[in-house]
């Protein structure tokens, strides 16, 4: 009984969870690339 209800909840939550995961991934990538860009700019300016 518990397993079945858990499965139902999981399938219901899945789309929301997926969109949240994608949002987090995109934000993480954006931050990652902006940090790399800033680092490259700083190195280029210093040198």
Spatial separation of the C-alpha atoms in residues 8 and 39, rounded to whole Å: 46
* Amino acid 18: pLDDT: 86
Spatial separation of the C-alpha atoms in residues 19 and 47, rounded to whole Å: 42
* Amino acid 16: pLDDT: 81
Place of tokens 């902006």: 34
pLDDT in 10s for each residue of the chain, 47 residues:
556 666 666 666 678 888 899 999 999 999 999 999 999 999 999 98
Q: How many domains does the chain have?
A: 1
**Residue 25: closest CA among 13, 37, 17, 36:** 17
Parent domain of 39: 1-47
pTM higher than 0.85 for the full model? Answer: no
């Amino acid at each position: 009984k518990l397993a079945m209800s858990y499965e139902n909840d999981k399938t219901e939550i899945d789309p929301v969870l997926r969109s949240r995961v994608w949002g987090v991934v995109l934000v993480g990538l954006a931050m990652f690339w902006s940090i790399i860009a800033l680092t490259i700019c700083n190195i280029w300016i210093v040198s």
